[in-house]
Amino acid sequence: MIGAGMAALFFDVGARLLTSALAPIPLRPPAASTIAEGVDMLHYTLTAITLFFTVVIFSTIFFFMIKYRRQSEDEIPPEIEKNVPLEILWTGIPTLICVVIFFWSASLYVRNARPPDASTEIFVVGKQWMWHLQHPEGVREINELHVPVGVPIKLTMTSEDVIHDFYVPAFRVKKDVLPGRYTSLWFQATKTGTYHIFCGQYCGADHAQMIGWVYVMEPSDYAAWLSGGASHESMAQAGERLFTQLGCVTCHAGDNTGRGPSLIGLYGKPEKLRSGETRIVDEGLIRQAIVFPNSVILPNYPPVMPTFQGQINEEQVLQLIAYVKSLGTQERTGK
């Protein structure tokens, strides 16, 4: 009977090995970003630990099954109920392993959490069931993202509808894309090539079709691509156009004569709001001001700003934000 059991296990393993020998299956996606190798190293270590303990436990079980199989119905095993040093050992070793893995992983994670200051920003709007991307220079893409190799790229993302998730396996990056707020991820590609984009959060009927490609190009090719084709207005220029079209300029005149504050130099600064709290003027706050104006009124200004919710889409909001940023004195230079 044990023989049958072991045979079954070996058949199982053998079948797997045989199949993978016949059709070589990669163990990992392409490693095309600065963090990919680090993540893979951690992953392989965890895999080794998993396989090690699994094999140890299974083999110990098999060994005991054979060595201590019942010889007669009358045999009485010895009383072995506990062994405190052993308990401490096999509590301590797993704890140690967990501590090491935690710190290793956390340090990778923390290091990867903040984008470098000089990142190129690209803006992503997810909607059922496609990705809209905008470069600051104005080029727009659908389900495709062209980037230069070797340059840190920061994606600022939001959703028009439900929760999506922007996932590039080759870069080992993933972040949920949420309605009503901005999330971001960053990466620096290390190899030119074409890599999958997947939507990683179930979002309805065509969730599996909400996929695309990242094209990583040499910097010169990227520059050529960026400026090729019809000339585009940059995001900031589009935002300026909207600023006038929607009448924002009426109240937010640059010389502070309107009913609202001038927006020059506002971006990136901490501001104290009417409610008393102080917040940094970032993308999220500007979006909130456009959609829920009365929640972020500045002191000494009346709460009379109308909401533009429903009048503009998320991409247009990003263009307005780009315009407000361009009015600021922060040294943010997009490409």
Partner 1 sequence: MAPTAAHSPALVHQFETKEQQHDAGNLGMWIFLATEIMFFGGVFMAYIVYRALHLEAFIQGSHFLDVTFGATNTAVLICSSLTMALAISAAQTGKSKSTIITFLVLTMLLGAAFLFIKFNFEWTHDWTEGLVPGLHFTYSGPHAPGVQLFFCFYFFMTGLHALHMFIGLGILTTLTVMAYRGRFNPEYYAPLEVSGLYWHFVDIVWIFLFPLLYLIGRHYGGGH
Partner 2 sequence: MSTAVADIHEVPAGSRVNYLNASYGIKSWLFTTDHKRIALLYLASITFMFLVGGTAAVLMRIHLIEPQGALVQPETYNKLFSIHGIVMVFFFLVPSIPATLGNFLVPLMIGARDLAFPKLNLLSWYVYMVGAIFTLYAVISGGVDTGWTFYAPFSSLYSQTHVVAAALGVFITGFSSILTGLNFIVTIHKMRAPGMTWFRLPLFIWAMYATSVIFILGTPVIAITIFLLGLERLLHVGIFDPAVGGDPILFQHLFWFYSHPAVYIMILPAMGVISEVVTCFSKKRIFGYSIVAFSSMAIAVISFLVWGHHMFVTGQSVYAGLIFSVLSFLVAIPSAIKVFNWTSTLYKGSISYEAPMLYALGFIGLFTMGGLTGLFLASLATDVHLNGTYFIVAHFHYIMVGGAVMGYLGGIHFWWPKITGRLYPDAWARFAALVVFVGFNLTFFPQFMLGYLGMPRRYAVYPQEFQVLNVMSSAGASILGIGYLIPLIYLIWSMRYGPAAGPNPWGARGLEWEVPSPPPTENFEEIPVVTEEAYNYTGARQTLG
Contact between 99 and partner 2 per CB under 8 A: yes
Q: Shortest distance, CB of residue 274 to partner 1, whole angstroms?
A: 8
Output b/e per residue, 248-285; b: 16+ Cβ within 10 A.
Answer: beebbeeeeeeebbebeebbeeeeeeeeeeeeebbbbb
As a whole number of angstroms, the distance between CA 296 and CA 301 comes to: 11
Interaction pattern, residues 90-129, with partner 1; x per rule: CB under 8 A:
----------------------------------------
The single-letter code of the amino acid at 327 is L
Question: On the CB side of 183, how many CA atoms lie within 13 Å of its CA?
Answer: 18
Q: Choose one: 157-165, 225-233, 291-299, 313-321; the region binding partner 1 (CB under 8 A).
A: 291-299
CB closer to partner 1 out of 32 and 305: 305
- 241 Cα distance to chain centroid: 31
Q: Choose one: 14-22, 112-120, 144-152, 290-298; the region binding partner 1 (CB under 8 A).
A: 290-298
CB closer to partner 2 out of 38 and 239: 38
Q: Shortest distance, CB of residue 58 to partner 1, whole angstroms?
A: 40
* Residues from 45 through 64 that contact partner 2 (CB under 8 A): 46, 49-50, 53-54, 57-58, 60-61, 64
Contact between 311 and partner 1 per CB under 8 A: no
Contact between 119 and partner 2 per CB under 8 A: no
Vertex 266: Cα angle to 133 and 301 (nearest 5): 115
- The residue from 14, 95, 250, 294 that contacts partner 2 (CB under 8 A) is 95
Contact between 312 and partner 2 per CB under 8 A: no
Q: Is 52 exposed, middle or buried (0-12, 13-18, 19+ CB in 10 A)?
A: exposed
As a whole number of angstroms, the distance between CA 62 and CA 77 comes to: 18
Indicate the SS3 state at residue 214: strand
Contact between 21 and partner 2 per CB under 8 A: no
303 binds, among partner 2, partner 1, none (CB under 5 to 8 A by kind): partner 1
Residue 24 in tokens: 């070589």
Residues in the chain, overall count:
335
Indicate the SS3 state at residue 308: coil
Contact between 170 and partner 2 per CB under 8 A: yes
Contact between 275 and partner 1 per CB under 8 A: yes
Check: CB of residue 135 under 8 Å from CB of residue 122.
yes
Q: DSSP for 238-289, please give it.
A: HHHHHHHHTTHHHHS-TTS-SSS---TT-TTSEEE-TTS-EEE--HHHHHHH
- The residue from 194, 292, 298, 301 that contacts partner 1 (CB under 8 A) is 292
Q: Choose one: 54-62, 98-106, 292-300, 313-321; the region binding partner 1 (CB under 8 A).
A: 292-300
Q: Choose one: 66-74, 146-154, 257-265, 275-283; the region binding partner 2 (CB under 8 A).
A: 66-74
